[in-house]
């Protein structure tokens, strides 16, 4: 007011209002010129409005009914605007008080403290448990608290999810499964994991060695002589015991009859009950390796065919070359079949044919006449 109650300022335009004319408008303890009394949102004049009850906007000014409806919250049930200040919010949705009821039994939920929802609709705890609540796969009772353990799409009460062996609750613990049953790690390891034949403890994480249908920890698979871990399955056996290659070679491997050193398994030649390295089985004359080749024996020692023919085969008394195939013997002398000939006509004298012998050589029956 200015000086007295005859004048005041318009809350909209801030100019003076002469109250003596009786044309001012008072709303929410504020004065307006007739033309200044407009909706704070759309700026439409409210002086000619049929509805004289205007809503107060957040800033204290008037708002028309159209804008009020446009800004009003919509009830999730009846889809009508909520114009009063009294509304209920549940699951981020707005409700009239009268519309906030159970979607199944239509009981009012205003005073209910424990609520549920189904298909995005509010539901009382009784209807939810009876019609929609999941059931525990173990005890088949309703899981009403919302707290559950889910495995493989199935739900369990936290207290029902237990080890099938020791009955210990395994919620928030590691577990394993055997024949569709749950086991805590301690029971699973004890009853279902393979055991090490050496230390008799379970073999964890699949890190095992299998030998002769028996299982071992990698660290337990050791040489029975030096106790060294056997790596990459390189070992030999003697009297049902395992030995690393070094120990086997030192204590059990056969010795080469030529160099007298140990022979590793599978890398040897056995002849005349003696064992040789592959590289040590050589011709006693030329020192050539004779593995996978034919050989002869002279003075109990191996000899390749070439050297045997050269040094030990009988020689033909005619051509003086070694005799390899069939031969004829006459008066202590050996002859190739083709070298046993008549001295004059050089015809080969066949086996069983008559021939004659002079002081120097052999004559056929024809040349001897």
Hey, what are 323's tokens? 């005799």
Q: What is the DSSP string of 111-125?
A: T-SSEEEETTEEEEH
pLDDT score for 1:
42
Interacting residues of 6 by C-beta distance below 8 A, sequence separation 6+: 18, 19, 20
pLDDT score for 52:
59
Go through the domains of the chain in sequence order and give each one's CATH number. Answer: 7-110 (2.10.110.10), 253-312 (2.10.110.10), 315-369 (2.10.110.10)
In the chain, pLDDT over 90 holds for what percent of residues? 6
Q: What is the DSSP string of 227-258?
A: -PBPPTT-EEEETTEEEEHHHHHHHTSPBPTT
Model confidence at 106, pLDDT cuts 50, 70, 90, reads very high
What's the rounded mean pLDDT across residues 285-302? 83
User: Counting Cβ atoms within 10 Å, is residue 234 exposed (0-12), middle (13-18) or buried (19+)?
Assistant: exposed
pLDDT at 137 over 60: yes
Averaged pLDDT score across all residues of the chain: 83
pLDDT in tens, 189-206: 888 888 888 888 887 776
pLDDT score for 118:
85
In the chain, pLDDT over 70 holds for what percent of residues? 93
pLDDT score for 100:
92
Model confidence at 3, pLDDT cuts 50, 70, 90, reads very low
Hey, what are 360's tokens? 């120097």
Residue 140, by phi and psi: left (phi above 0), alpha (psi -120 to 50) or beta? left
pLDDT in tens, 143-189: 776 677 888 778 888 888 889 889 888 876 778 888 888 888 888 88
Please give the Cα distance from 268 to 254 (Å, whole number).
9
Lowest mean pLDDT among 96-100, 174-178, 262-266, 277-281: 262-266
Please give the Cα distance from 254 to 264 (Å, whole number).
8
pLDDT score for 317:
83
Hey, what are 174's tokens? 């590691």
pLDDT at 22 over 80: no
Does residue 285 or residue 231 have the better pLDDT?
285
CB 198, CB 217: distance < 8 Å: yes
Nearest to 173 by CA among 162, 164, 181, 165: 162
pLDDT score for 102:
94
Does residue 95 or residue 56 have the better pLDDT?
95
């Amino acid at each position: 007011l200015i000086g007295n109650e005859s004048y005041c300022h318009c809350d909209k335009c801030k100019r003076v209002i002469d109250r003596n004319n009786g044309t001012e408008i008072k709303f929410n303890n504020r004065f307006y010129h007739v033309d200044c009394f407009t909706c704070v949102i759309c700026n439409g004049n409210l002086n000619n409005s049929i509805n004289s009850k205007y809503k107060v906007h957040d800033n204290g000014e008037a708002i028309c009914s159209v804008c009020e409806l446009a800004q009003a919250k919509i009830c999730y049930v009846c889809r009508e605007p909520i114009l009063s200040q009294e509304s209920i919010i549940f699951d981020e949705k707005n409700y009239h008080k009268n519309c906030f009821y159970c979607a199944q039994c239509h009981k009012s939920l205003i005073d209910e403290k424990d609520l549920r929802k189904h298909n995005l609709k509010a539901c009382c705890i009784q209807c939810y448990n009876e019609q929609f609540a999941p059931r525990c796969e173990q005890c088949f009772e309703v899981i009403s608290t919302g707290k559950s353990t889910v495995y493989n799409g199935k739900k369990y009460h936290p207290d029902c999810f237990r080890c099938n062996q020791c009955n210990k609750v395994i919620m928030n613990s590691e577990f394993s499964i055997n024949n569709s049953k749950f086991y805590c790690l301690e029971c699973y390891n004890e009853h279902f994991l393979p055991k090490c034949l050496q230390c008799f403890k379970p073999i964890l994480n699949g890190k095992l060695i299998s030998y002769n249908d028996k299982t071992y920890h990698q660290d337990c698979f050791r040489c029975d002589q030096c106790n060294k871990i056997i790596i990459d399955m390189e070992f030999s056996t003697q009297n049902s015991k395992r030995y690393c290659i070094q120990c086997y070679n030192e204590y059990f491997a056969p010795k080469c009859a030529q160099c007298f050193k140990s022979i590793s398994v599978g890398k040897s030649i056995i002849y005349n009950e003696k064992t040789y390295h592959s590289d040590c089985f050589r011709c006693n004359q030329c020192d050539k390796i004779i593995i996978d080749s034919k050989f002869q024996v002279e003075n109990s020692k191996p000899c390749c065919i070439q050297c045997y023919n050269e040094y030990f085969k009988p020689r033909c008394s005619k051509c003086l070359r070694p005799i390899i195939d069939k031969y004829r013997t006459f008066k202590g002398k050996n002859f190739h079949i083709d070298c046993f000939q008549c001295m004059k006509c050089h015809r080969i004298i066949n086996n069983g044919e008559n021939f004659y012998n002079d002081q120097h050589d052999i004559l056929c029956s024809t040349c001897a006449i």
